[in-house]
């Protein structure tokens, strides 16, 4: 839920888009904007890629959409094969949706259906984490630990159990810094035991937290530790890779980096790279089996699930990324890009942390580097920085609330995987200028 760059902008104040080319967008007044965050980490191949556009046009020329429950299609079948292969062979089925929230919604429902198929109807509850974002539909919002976005809907959300975020920069107060993983695994186990393992269906988390944390990769060993706890109590693991997946962090699955495979995984933003809306929910064989034998089919799906032109777009995007070895580029260049961001911002005392993986980088701002105290929420620092960057022709993704749901200022950088070196340098120059201007303004 991007608030636009600068919360002060009314919709009528927004520039009117004219066209995009590669890493740049152009408005009708002739201003250019370098896409330093792919909007909210969406545009992994930049804009108007001719090969993606011609794949979509070719699909539209034959048929835009053949209703998924009446027809299959070459685009859907080839995309499913590609996705299952790129995900490392740990999933059996792919269910498509139109966005990330729907993909999460399907993941939650598949977890419930799995236990229903096994006759375990008491396993109905979810465990999720504070400082997380899983989407705007009621189910996805229910498992989201994001106070500001939940407030208006409290009372109608599912009864979800929340555990601590896995954030090495902001560990729980009573946790020794080098015992974070053990602390979090014990907390999760305690929560399962307190609720009663027979009532808990799944634990959902973002392997790298996006908008709710300002790019927070879990500490090494965390993914394996929580997977072991969940396995012990017959609780499914749902990895929400809507933002961090599809190669954003340098591996197709973010959890590939941790050597861990979840039971269910979601992906969306980078799947079709924003050319046409598309999300997907991937299901491991051990979850698919009882559903298939007992119910015959997944009880989730929407009118536009598996939209043919969207599948054609995603197939083209994924083929280009693979052919041009762009994930290798994201891995290699991502590390030096992050280092350059860190170096360029080091002179600002208010830059508390620069972190992330691949082309998914977060910068956190603090009032005091030592105590890590955040700026007051009403200062709106991250949005001020975002607004200044935008006026200077750079799109970055300002986020707030990462500390306690209200305070905390972060900026996310998530450039296209094929952004050129000079464009990455321009991102750093313009971000540094925006940070300098905002901090000088007090």
Ligand X SMILES: Cc1ncc(COP(=O)(O)O)c(C=O)c1O
Question: Pick from 45, 87, 166, 243: which binds ligand X (CB under 6 A)?
Answer: 243
Report CA 358 to chain centroid distance, whole Å: 13
- Give me the least distance between CB of 365 and ligand X, in Å please: 20
Strand order across the 397-400 sheet: 351-357, 360-365, 409-413, 397-400
Question: Is residue 268 close enough to count as binding ligand X by CB under 6 A?
Answer: yes
- Dump strand ranges (E) for 168-323: 200-205, 208-209, 216-217, 236-241, 264-267, 279-283
Contact (CB, 8 A) for 356 and 362: yes
- Give me the least distance between CB of 242 and ligand X, in Å please: 3
Residue with smaller CB distance to ligand X, 33 or 133: 133
- Number of Cβ within a 10 Å radius of residue 420: 13
- Give me the least distance between CB of 91 and ligand X, in Å please: 18
**Rounded-to-10 torsion of CA 271, 272, 278, 283:** -30
Question: Pick from 35, 93, 99, 384: which binds ligand X (CB under 6 A)?
Answer: 99
Residue with smaller CB distance to ligand X, 185 or 208: 208
Contact region with ligand X (CB under 6 A), list: 26-34, 94-102, 188-196, 355-363? 94-102
Question: Is residue 334 close enough to count as binding ligand X by CB under 6 A?
Answer: no
Strand partners, 96: 280
Residue with smaller CB distance to ligand X, 42 or 333: 42
CA distances (Å), origin 97, targets 108, 148, 271, 320: 14, 26, 11, 22
Question: Is residue 240 close enough to count as binding ligand X by CB under 6 A?
Answer: yes
For 194-210, letters b (16+ CB in 10 Å) and e give ebebeebbbbbbbbbbb
Binding mask of the shown chain, residues 118 to 157, with x at each position contacting ligand X by CB under 6 A: ---------------xxxx---------------------
- Give me the least distance between CB of 139 and ligand X, in Å please: 11
| Residue 442 neighbours by CB under 8 Å, 6+ apart | none
**Contacts of ligand X in 188-217 (CB under 6 A):** 206, 210-211
Residue with smaller CB distance to ligand X, 279 or 426: 279
Question: Pick from 40, 139, 219, 270: which binds ligand X (CB under 6 A)?
Answer: 40
Binding-site size, ligand X (CB under 6 A): 16
Question: Pick from 59, 80, 101, 305: which binds ligand X (CB under 6 A)?
Answer: 101
| Residue 148 neighbours by CB under 8 Å, 6+ apart | 400, 401, 405, 406
- Give me the least distance between CB of 180 and ligand X, in Å please: 21
Strand pairing category for 351-357 and 236-241: unpaired
Give the interface with ligand X as residue ranges (CB under 6 A): 40, 99-101, 104, 133-136, 206, 210-211, 240, 242-243, 268
């Amino acid at each position: 839920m991007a608030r636009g760059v600068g919360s002060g902008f009314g919709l009528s104040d927004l520039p009117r888009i004219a066209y995009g080319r590669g890493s740049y967008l152009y408005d009708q007044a002739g201003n250019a904007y370098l896409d330093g965050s792919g909007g909210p980490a969406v545009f992994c191949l930049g804009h108007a890629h001719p090969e993606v556009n011609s794949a979509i046009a070719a699909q539209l020329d034959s048929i835009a959409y053949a209703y998924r429950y009446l027809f299959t299609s070459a685009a859907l079948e080839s995309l499913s094969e590609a996705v299952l292969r790129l995900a490392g062979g740990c999933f059996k089925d792919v269910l498509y949706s139109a966005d990330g929230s729907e993909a999460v919604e399907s993941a939650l429902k598949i977890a419930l259906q799995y236990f229903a198929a096994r006759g375990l109807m008491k396993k109905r509850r979810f465990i999720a984490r504070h400082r997380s974002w899983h989407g705007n539909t009621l189910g996805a919002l229910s498992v989201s630990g994001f106070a500001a976005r939940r407030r208006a809907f409290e009372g109608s959300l599912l009864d979800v159990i929340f555990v601590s975020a896995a954030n090495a920069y902001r560990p729980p107060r009573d946790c020794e810094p080098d015992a974070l993983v053990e602390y979090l695994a014990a907390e999760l186990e305690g929560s399962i035991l307190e609720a009663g393992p027979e009532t808990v269906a799944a634990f959902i988390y973002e392997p790298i937290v996006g908008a709710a944390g300002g790019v927070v990769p879990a500490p090494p060993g965390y993914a394996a530790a929580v997977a072991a706890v969940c396995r012990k109590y017959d609780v499914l693991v749902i990895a929400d890779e809507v933002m961090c997946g599809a190669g954003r962090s340098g591996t197709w699955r973010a959890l590939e980096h941790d050597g861990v495979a979840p039971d269910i995984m979601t992906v969306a933003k980078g799947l079709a790279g924003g050319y046409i809306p598309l999300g997907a929910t991937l299901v491991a064989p051990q979850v698919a089996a009882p559903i298939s034998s007992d119910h015959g089919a997944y009880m989730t799906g929407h009118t536009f699930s598996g939209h043919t032109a969207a599948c054609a777009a995603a197939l083209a995007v994924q083929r280009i990324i693979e052919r041009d070895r762009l994930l290798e580029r994201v891995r290699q260049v991502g590390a030096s890009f992050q280092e350059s961001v860190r170096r360029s911002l080091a002179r600002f005392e208010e830059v508390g942390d620069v972190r992330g993986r691949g082309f998914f980088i977060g910068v956190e701002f603090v009032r005091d580097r030592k105590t890590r105290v955040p700026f007051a929420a009403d200062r709106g620092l991250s949005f001020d920085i975002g607004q200044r960057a935008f006026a200077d022709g750079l799109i970055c993704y300002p986020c707030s609330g990462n500390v306690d749901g209200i305070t905390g200022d972060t900026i996310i950088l998530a450039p296209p995987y094929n952004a050129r070196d000079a464009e990455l340098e321009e991102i750093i120059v313009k971000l540094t200028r925006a940070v300098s201007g905002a901090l000088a303004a007090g």
